[in-house]
Amino acid sequence: MRVLGIDTANLTNTIGLIDGDRMVTDFAWEARDNSLQRIIISTDLVLKRAGLTLAEIDGLAVGIGPGSWTGVRVGVTVAKTLAYAVNKPICGISSLEAIAYQARSASILLCPLVDAGRENVYSAFYRARGKTLAMEGDYYVGNIKGLTERVKEPALFLGKPAHLYRRAITGELGDLAGFGSPSDTSSGCVVALLSLTRFAAGAADDAFSLVPLYLGESLAQALLRKKETEAGDE
């Protein structure tokens, strides 16, 4: 199965193509160069490198976040519209799982991090189970201290923020904390690889209703919710 994978949730945007479990080509660019401007040109580049047209792929996979709200909207909207336009199945993949997948051979708890702004991170815990990853517990959004308080065993911290906050993490966890390579990030190919089991299980997503995983709300929404809750309490 040929799958085009897209992930624009992180600082590094990436598009890749797989053919079965073989990575055919992967392309990355920095989000500050503009996700919206580059996404279709990069898609075209990846397909041309592989000598394929969009109609010749069998499915699409897209990182749905958590990550940059605007970035992930570009990736999800483009991926689902491409899938709709050429009538191919689509699968939304957690951008955190895509980072954790890079360290799937490790036997300890995996803790991928994505920057959430204001010194916060998005995270989740994963454990390798054979060839796949199992998520443990819920997604996390908050500061590093809150995250490290949840870690009670040796854990491998992954993704660019892991290196940014390395001192803080080590300060809290000491020898329990390990760190992956600074180059561990999501990749279009990994997002595509993660979709294979989902496609095989008949668990593709609906291109119309697929939306990003935000793990947070806008300030206005938060204020309104607070106001409505308070009004309800009275």
Partner 1 sequence: MLVLGIETSCDETAAALVADGTILSNVIASQIDLHARFGGIVPEVASRKHVEAIGYVIQEAFDSAGKTHTEVDAVAVTSKYGLVGSLIVGVSAAKAMAYALKVPLIGIHHIEGHIFANILSNPGTPLPHVCLTVSGGHTMLVHVKELCQYEVMGNTLDDAAGEAFDKISKFLGLGFPGGPAIESLATQGNRAAFNLPRPLGRSRSFDFSFSGLKTSVVNMFKGRDRETLPLPDIAASFQQAVVDVLVSKTLQAALHKGVSAVSITGGVSINSRLREDFSAACGRQGLQVFFPRRDLCTDNAAMVAAAGAARLKYGEMSQLDLNAIPNAPLESIGCAGKHC
Contact set for partner 1, span 17-36 (CB under 8 A): 34, 36
CB of 212 to partner 1, least distance (A): 7
Interaction of residue 214 with partner 1, rule CB under 8 A: yes
Interaction of residue 44 with partner 1, rule CB under 8 A: yes
Of 4 and 177, nearer to partner 1 (C-beta) is 4
- Count of residues touching partner 1 (by CB under 8 A): 35
User: Can you give the three-state secondary structure of the chain, one letter per residue?
Assistant: CEEEEEECCCCEEEEEEEECCEEEEEEEEEHHHCHHHHHHHHHHHHHHHCCCCHHHCCEEEEECCCCCHHHHHHHHHHHHHHHHHHCCCEEEECHHHHHHHHHCCCCCEEEEEEEEECCEEEEEEEEEECCEEEEEEEEEEECHHHHHCCCCCCEEEECHHHHHCHHHHHHHHHHHEEECCCCCCCCHHHHHHHHHHHHHCCCCECCCCCCCCCCCCCHHHHHHHHHHHHHHHC
Interaction of residue 82 with partner 1, rule CB under 8 A: yes
Interaction of residue 139 with partner 1, rule CB under 8 A: no
CB of 213 to partner 1, least distance (A): 12
Interaction of residue 45 with partner 1, rule CB under 8 A: no
Interaction of residue 59 with partner 1, rule CB under 8 A: no
Interaction of residue 100 with partner 1, rule CB under 8 A: no
The residue ranges that bind partner 1 (CB under 8 A) are 34, 36-41, 43-44, 54, 69-70, 73-74, 76-82, 84-86, 207-209, 211-212, 214, 217-218, 220-221, 224
